Structure formats: structure tokens, C-alpha cells
Structure 1
């Protein structure tokens, strides 16, 4: 669901123009960014016994993708953003970081723990939309389209007063292309 996460970042940028786009894009992927070194160290794993491809792997991200772990990462990122860009931006960044977990809850099979390291062996969460690839891809496409449209409209509104409107349109088109490509790579594993 990389593309869907990026769609959320684009939509948020449309409403919170003071937050840098790079920070929103990073925030929406922070759980996965932290997951990579955890995966490389062996602390978290991916089980691809059900196959390789869109949503087929079972992810054992017991630290980064636990609900408590996601909240901790969201709070830490929010505090850093608050210090850098102010309270409103900090809250926005924290919310965007946590939105990753909420979207993952929709698509993941039950592989999201409550506590880091799955301490207490509590029931795992996940609604499993990835089991229906077409439905999952449709939700992701919706997030991408909404993000692209909101971002484009916000540029149009801001650009109405600019002398060089072609730069505004170019930025909107580039964002749309990048979101579309991220969806294609997500769904088709390119």
C-alpha cells in the first residue's frame, strides 16, 4: 500500500501547505522506513510462503507495525516536526505517521500486534483486504486519485495569483504521474 500512503500525504499537503511535502511523504512511510533496518537485522521478518506479489507476504513487523510501536513513532516524529515547524505541523506529521498503521490495518492479514515484539501474545490485527487484490487495489487507487486531485486543486488555488501558472500545473502533473507510478509498482511489483 505504498501508493495509498503517498496519496494520503498528497491530500494532507493540500490542507496543510506549511508542512514540507518531503516531510509528509517521509512521515507516511516512516513505519516502513524503520522496518527496513529491523528486517535486515532479523528483528522483523517477511514470510512469503503464500507467494510473492501484491499483498501475498505475511509481514512480521512486530515492533514497527504494532499499534503501540506506531504510536511511539508517530509521537516522536510529531515532536521533531513541532520543534522544527511548530505545533500544528507537529500534530499533522504525527497523524500522518499513524495513518500508515490505520491503512495497514485495512489491508494486512492478521499480522499487526498490539504491543511491540508481540509481548503477551495478544491477538493480531488486520482486516485482510489484500486477500482480495482487486478490492485492495481499488482502495489504493481511490487514495491516490483523491490525493492527486486535492493536491492539484490546492496548487490551482495557490497558483491563481502567481505569474507563472505553468509551474503550478507542472507540479500537479508531476505529482499525479509519481502517484500513478507508485500505484503501478505497488500492484504489479515492478
Structure 2
């Protein structure tokens, strides 16, 4: 799942507007920002294995640090705690922690059974929506539209949007389409480095939300 996680970030901003959209994106995609670094460090593993009818060309063979449920709960707790220590905002800290954890449950819907419950000898789970290309596109598309709608509805009092926001939305959709219908990656190292580019999306969200905050007088600083 890709834009479904960003949908969660948009929705989180609607629930806890004091934090920036960039922080919401950071929480919602935290696991997939951690994962490529662990790949580069050879602490987690995946392989490129495209096949006809397969939604993703990747096989996720070993990623207990970033994607086991037990450690994901820990990452969510840590993320929320760090934010609370910085801002003393319990509501937003809770939302951010839940966004981190939401990533695993959204992945649970689409992944084939490759998500561990805990590091080590764990059962692997996944509901396998990725086995259906139309189903995956429909679910992710609806999630993205719903999350964006919640975000825009929360901003409705400003009666304004910015080119920065709509450019971000368009870019997310284009990246998603390219990932789905483009050629498979050459190797897993290329995947890991491409994954690091997601930081640009987080920074872009900080910028877009700040531009909107400046016009709407809406909190959106960290």
C-alpha cells in the first residue's frame, strides 16, 4: 500500500490540526521510511520477483524490525511519546502514535501472508488484497479520496487551498500510477534508494501545509 498510508496522514491532520501535515505523513509512513534504511544496512531483506497478475514486484522476505506487529506497537509508542515530550499535546501525540500503528493494519489488508507478528519464529499474516489488481486500486483509491476529503473539509473554513497542496496530491497519484504500471525495479538496492525519496514527500507536506496555514491562520508548525 502506498497512497492509502498518505490518506491516513491527511485524515490524521483533520483529527489533530495542531500538527503539520508533514508530521502526519511522517507518522503514517514511518515504517516505510525506516524499511529502506534497514535494507541498505542489510538488517532486513526483500527480493525483486515480478510475476504476471502480481500487484507488487517485491517479495518481503525478512522485515521484523520495521514491520512486525510487536515492534510496530513500540515504534508507535515511541513516536507519540517523543512528540508529547516536545509539544505536551496529548491528543496529537496519541493520533501520531496511532498513525504509525495504522500502517501495519493497512498493510495487513493488502499484503500476502508475509507480515510477522513478532521478531523471530512468528506466524505470517496478510489478507492478500494484492492478489487482485482491481480490488487494490479500488480500495487504495477510495482511501486516498476519503482521507483527502477529510483534510479539505477540516480546512473548509479557510475557503482556500494552495498550488503546493494540489501539486503534492497530483504527484502522489502520479508516483502511485508509475509504481503500479511502470517497469519493475532492477534490484533491491534500487528499491531501497528509491524508498529514501519518500522524505521529499514529507518535506513537501510540511511546505504545503505551512503555505495553507499562512493563508488560513491554521496551526501547522511541527
Q: CA deviation at 1:141?
A: 0.5
CA shift digits 1:125-158 (9 cap, x unpaired): 111111112111111101111111111222212x
Describe how 1:38-187 pairs up with structure 2 within 5 A: 38-51=38-51, 54-59=55-60, 60-85=62-87, 86-116=89-119, 119=120, 121-157=121-157, 159-160=158-159, 165=160, 168=161, 170=163, 173-187=166-180
Preserved CA contact (<8 Å) 1:137 1:187: no
Question: Normalising by structure 2, what TM-score?
Answer: 0.74
Question: Normalising by structure 1, what TM-score?
Answer: 0.85
Task: Please name the residue that 2:206 is paired with.
Answer: none
Which structure has the higher relative contact order (CA within 8 Å, separation 6+)?
Answer: 2
CA shift digits 1:3-37 (9 cap, x unpaired): 11001101111221112111110111111111112
Secondary structure at 2:112 match in 1: coil
Preserved CA contact (<8 Å) 2:12 2:96: no
Q: Is residue 16 from structure 1 mapped to residue 16 from structure 2 by the alignment?
A: yes
Q: CA deviation at 1:50?
A: 4.4
Secondary structure at 1:95 match in 2: helix
Unaligned runs of 5+ in 1: none
Q: CA deviation at 1:186?
A: 3.8
**Kindly tell me: are residues 31 and 147 of structure 1, through their superposed partners in 2, closer, same or farther at Cα, counting changes over 3 Å?**
same
Q: Distance in 1 between matches of 2:179 and 2:50?
A: 17
**Kindly tell me: are residues 81 and 185 of structure 1, through their superposed partners in 2, closer, same or farther at Cα, counting changes over 3 Å?**
farther
Q: Distance in 2 between matches of 1:57 and 1:83?
A: 37
Secondary structure at 2:46 match in 1: strand
Aligned-residue CA RMSD (Å) = 2.1
